[in-house]
A and B are shown apart, each in its own frame.
Chain A
Amino acid sequence: MPFDPVAYAIPVFVALIVGELLWVRASGQRQRYEWRDTGISLAFGLGSTVIGAITGGLTAGMLVWIHQQSPLSIGWAWWAWPLCFVLDDLAYYWFHRTAHRVRWFWASHVNHHSSQHYNLSTALRQSWTGFIALGFVFRWPLAAVGFEPGMILVCAGFNLIYQFWIHTEVVDRMPRWFEAVMNTPSHHRVHHAVNARYLDRNYAGTFIVWDKLFGTFTPEDNEDRIHYGIVRQLGSFNLLHAVFHEWIGIARDVWQAPWRHKFSYMWREPGWSHDGSRETSDMIRERWSRRENPEG
Chain B
Amino acid sequence: MDSELLLLGGSLVAVLLLVGMTWLLGFRQQARLDSPAEAAELVRLAPGGFEPVEVAMDLEGKAAIARDRDGRLLVLVPHGNRFVARPLPADCSPAYKDGKLQVSCEGHPVTLDLGAAAGDWTAADSAVN
Contact = CB atoms under 8 A, between A and B. Distances in A.
B95 to A, nearest CB: 22
18 contacts: A10-B7, A10-B11, A14-B14, A14-B18, A21-B27, A30-B27, A32-B27, A36-B80, A38-B19, A42-B19, A116-B80, A117-B82, A229-B82, A235-B79, A235-B108, A279-B47, A279-B48, A288-B49
Contact of B14 (A10, A38, A279): A10
Interface stretch (A45-53, A70-78, A169-177): A45-53
Contacts of B47: 231-232, 279
B8 A33 contact: no
A275 B115 CA distance: 42
A21 B19 contact: no
Interface secondary structure of B, over-half rule: mixed
B77 A235 contact: yes
Contacts of A10: 7, 10-11, 14
B15 A42 contact: yes
B97 interface: no
A151 interface: no
B12 interface: yes
B129 interface: no
A80 interface: no
A119 to B, nearest CB: 10
Interface string A245-269: 0000000000000000000000000
Given A25-B25, A35-B28, A231-B47, A116 B18 contact: no
Contacts of A121: 18
Contacts of A86: none
A66 interface: no
B81 A18 contact: no
A46 B18 contact: no
B42 interface: yes
B87 to A, nearest CB: 10
Contacts of B55: none
Contacts of B51: 291
A3 interface: no
B22 interface: yes
Contact of B85 (A17, A36, A45, A233): A233
Given A39-B19, A233-B82, 17 more contacts: A14-B14, A21-B18, A25-B25, A30-B27, A34-B22, A35-B28, A36-B80, A38-B18, A38-B27, A116-B79, A116-B80, A117-B82, A231-B47, A235-B77, A235-B79, A235-B108, A236-B79
